Structure 1
Amino acid sequence: MNPIVEFCISNLAKGGQVVFDELSQDEHLDVLEYGCLTYCGQCNDSLYALVNGDIITGETPEALKKNIYQHIEETWNF
């Protein structure tokens, strides 16, 4: 079982698409896209994704990607 990374389509349009595309290439992740994840306040404030149900944010696409991998490294039991 792989870590699950979920993205909101609205947040992808705000700059998260590049992160989604890059993470989708990682065979050790299950990357999903939804119409809405119901975190509208978070979506308005910054780029974000859910990683195994935890909200991970980043001010830039690069920061979001880094924070996602860091969260997985700190919390995932391989």
Structure 2
Amino acid sequence: MLIECCMNNVHNGTDEVINSLLSLPHVEIVEYGCLTQCGVCNQEHFLFINDTYVAGETPAQLLEKINKICFTLT
């Protein structure tokens, strides 16, 4: 599973989610300086998972959505 993150968004709290995902098997995390999502970057926490935009209002909500996706893919 490829997880892409924006470093600007990571500094807003998404780093908590990334740290939780590091222990998952078959996960590759790629950090970019910018993912051109500037309109939402300061409004919500987001990552791209296998090229799919996934967002949450809080880091916990984002992690919950990611967990649902991971269980669907396995």
What's the CA shift for 1:44? 2.1
Is the counterpart of residue 73 in structure 1 residue 71 in structure 2? Answer: yes
Question: How many aligned positions are there?
Answer: 74
What's the CA shift for 1:73? 3.0
Alignment-derived partner of residue 16 in structure 1: 14
Unaligned residue ranges in structure 1 (runs of 5+): none
Alignment-derived partner of residue 52 in structure 2: 54
Secondary structure, counterpart of 1:45 in structure 2: coil
Secondary structure, counterpart of 2:30 in structure 1: strand
Distance 2:71 2:54 in 1: 13
Distance 1:15 1:43 in 2: 11
Moved over 2 A (4+): 71-74
Distance 1:72 1:26 in 2: 10
Q: Percent identity?
A: 32
What's the CA shift for 1:24? 1.3
| Cα RMSD, aligned residues only | 1.3
Unaligned residue ranges in structure 2 (runs of 5+): none
Q: 1:51, 1:72 within 8 Å by CA — same for their partners in 2?
A: no
Alignment-derived partner of residue 42 in structure 1: 40
